[in-house]
Amino acid sequence: MIRRIAAFLSGTALAFALAAPSLAAPLKVPPAPMVPGVAVEHIKVHSAAMEGNLAGEPVDRSVIVVLPPSYAKDKARRYPVLYFLHGFALTDQSFFDFMHLPETEDAAAKQGMEFIIVVPDSYSKLGGTMYSNSVTTGDGEAYIANDVVKYVDGHYRTLAKREARGLVGHSMGGYGVWKIAMRFPQTWSSIYAMSACCMSPRVQTPEQTKKLEAIPYDTREAENFGNQASLASLAAWSPDPRNPPYYMDFGLKADGAMDPLVVAKWANNSPLAMAASHVDQLKSFKAVASDGGDKDGLTRDATTMHEQLDLYGVKNSFEVYPGDHTNRIVERFRTKVLPFFAANLQMK
């Protein structure tokens, strides 16, 4: 089931919408094996940033915290923290299970790399908040950068400073890395976007828009992956408090043409479009990295982002590796991402 993520929209693509399976509930995967000595805590974080959202998304959010093996023994030690953002149609739990995080934490510790790993839940009624700031779905950016970080620093033995915090995510989570990093650069010192989706400005035809508008709200959960992803994107990027029950602007004017203001709102949430106006923020990071599989259609936009960063003089590393959207992310998190953060975060 996790491979459905591979077909997630890349900003301009809606072709997948008719062929994708339905998503009546978050994707689930087999439970991750537990490892002796690696503590896993399931907590609730109240998010002030999510309060008042029109969609009725929960403001008390589920978060999983994975503690390194030495945490229970070395009571005086403080640890760097990795905030790991999950993809569309996933929850904190399903992503934790898919990534086998207890085993990953244990393997990293044996190599001298010990982090607190935090997985915040960003699932929504439409499949995901898109890690965006919307009056409809809530401020999913500040939820991560302010509410979750503040809670973790206040309840765990963290190195509570920018130099010891890293932000990493996959797919929708990789998109979230770029957006949250650019808008809250003071929170993190290093970032890594894995197979990020949704990098290009969204493009939608009038015909596609009419099909989305025709989806009854009460049956939205029976829609295919692509349609749910489109609705989630519109709720995040073109919210409309006057248009219940979706509370979104679909982008179609009365004359049947696309509304250029709504299209501009979508572009305003494109990391590729944002980069030019956030050069100073991007240059402020100690380390910036991204990747994508050579069989993943999203890698084209990831490559363009790398080229844009090079254009504006933002030091960054980028790799295209043999693989698709999901088949190597567990391995790469262990062998590429964790060493990247161990080399760039303050570890003690």
| Within-domain flag for 212 | no
Task: Give the tens place of pLDDT for each residue, 55-90.
Answer: 999 999 999 999 999 999 999 999 999 999 999 999
Q: Does residue 168 lie within any of the structural domains?
A: yes
Per the CB < 8 A criterion, the answer to whether 103 and 36 are in contact is: no
The per-residue pLDDT for 16 is 31
Alpha-carbon distance 76 to 231, whole Å? Answer: 47
pLDDT at 27: 73
Specify the number of domains making up the chain: 1
Q: How many helices (H) and strands (E) does the chain have?
A: 13, 10
Cα–Cα nearest to 285, from 194, 196, 180, 201: 180
In a domain, 130, yes or no: yes
Q: What is the pLDDT of residues 290-320, one digit of tens each?
A: 999 999 999 999 999 999 999 999 999 999 9
- Pair 6, 19: CB distance under 8 Å: no
**Is 75 a domain residue?**
yes
Phi-psi map region of 171: left, alpha, beta (phi>0 left; psi -120 to 50 alpha) = left
Rounded-to-integer distance, Cα 198 and Cα 188, Å: 22
CB atoms within 10 A of CB 161: 12
Alpha helices in 159-242 (DSSP H): 172-183, 206-213, 225-237
* DSSP-assigned states of every residue in 267-325: HTT-HHHHGGG-HHHHHTSSEEEEEEETT-TTHHHHHHHHHHHHHTT---EEEEESS-S
Coil vs helix vs strand at 60 = strand
The reply to whether 86 falls in a domain is: yes
36 in any annotated domain: yes
pTM score: 0.93
Q: pLDDT over 90 for what percent of the chain?
A: 91
Give, in order, the Cα–Cα distances in Å from 220 to each of 1, 8, 204, 341: 19, 17, 19, 39
Q: Which amino acid is at 6?
A: A
pLDDT score, position 66 = 98
Domain residue limits at 152: 2-6+28-201+275-344
Q: Helix, strand, or coil here: 215?
A: coil
Residues 297, 298, 301, 307, CA torsion sign = negative
Residue 153 within any structural domain of the chain: yes
Residue-level pLDDT at 345? 98
CATH number at residue 314: 3.40.50.1820
**Segments in the chain below pLDDT 70:** 1-25
Closest among 102, 113, 178 to 144, alpha carbons compared: 178
- In angstroms, the CA 215 to CA 231 distance is 10
d(CA 151, CA 148): 5
Question: CA-CA distance, 251 to 44, in Å (whole number)?
Answer: 36
Q: Is residue 92 part of a domain?
A: yes
Structure confidence at residue 28 (pLDDT): 76
